[in-house]
Amino acid sequence: MGTDPKSGPALSVHELSKRFGDRVAFHDVSFEIGHGEIFGFLGSNDAGKTTTVRTLGTLIAPTSGSATVAGIPLTLDNGIEIRRRIAIMPESPGLYLHLTVLENLECFADLYEAPDPKERIGRALQAVKLSDRAHDACATLSKGLRQRVALARALLSDPQVLFLDEPTSGLDPGATRDVHELGDGGLGTGDRALDEEALRDCDGEFQGPA
């Protein structure tokens, strides 16, 4: 019997910092998030929110400090293992615009080696209320709908920790409400770290420097 991956915190961050040369992106960040919690990063432009997400998502290495992500210590060697357990929805959706919604999701499900991709894709489409647009080219979708496709893509791997970077930025109030409602259990997934405006639903937050 293996160790329960959910026995510890979903995210544990201790005095984490990231510098780019002389520029400090974020400094001395510490917090802990339990499984099932929604946690938001608050901060003005340039406060280091995206860089924090990119660091915890193993896309860039921290300058100092330590963290465990989905129970795994954040080290260079553990990058692949961590990425198997998390998903990041970036600020810009980054979809193949000439492919349909379904084709995009099939493509990424294949890349993530998702088991039972058909079922996963169906569930993800349902979670973001896009089942009826599955055969539309992404180029023909509104900004908010593309955002939802990106969210569906992030759900494909059934992540233990889901990072959302400004998921509602630029969306109208109705689309923003839809994203917030996803946080009320609509996702059927584990833990989420939200950025900025999705804070309405947060259980906790980290307030960065102004």
Which lies closer to ligand ADP via its Cβ, residue 23 or residue 135? Answer: 23
Pairing of strands 191-195, 38-42: parallel
Q: Choose the one of ligand ADP, Mg ion, none that binds residue 114, judging by a C-beta under 5 to 8 angstroms depending on kind.
A: none
Dihedral angle computed from the Cα positions of residues 68, 185, 50 and 161, in that order, rounded to the nearest 10 degrees: 20
* List 12, 50, 55, 168, residue binding Mg ion (CB under 5 A): 50
Name the nearest CA neighbour of 194 among 43, 6, 80. Answer: 43
Q: Binding of Mg ion at residue 52 (CB under 5 A)? A: no
Number of residues that bind Mg ion (CB under 5 A): 2
Q: Binding of Mg ion at residue 157 (CB under 5 A)? A: no
Residue 145, φ and ψ in degrees, nearest 5: -70, -35
Provide, rounded to whole angstroms, the least separation between the CB of residue 140 and Mg ion.
27
Which lies closer to Mg ion via its Cβ, residue 40 or residue 71? Answer: 40
Provide, rounded to whole angstroms, the least separation between the CB of residue 92 and ligand ADP.
12
- Cβ contacts of residue 27 below 8 Å, gap of 6+? 17, 48, 209
Question: ∠ CA 20-39-188 to the nearest 5 degrees?
Answer: 120
Binding site for ligand ADP (CB under 6 A): 20, 23, 25, 43, 45-51
Residue 135, φ and ψ in degrees, nearest 5: -100, 10
Provide, rounded to whole angstroms, the least separation between the CB of residue 203 and Mg ion.
21
Per CB under 5 A, residues contacting Mg ion are 49-50
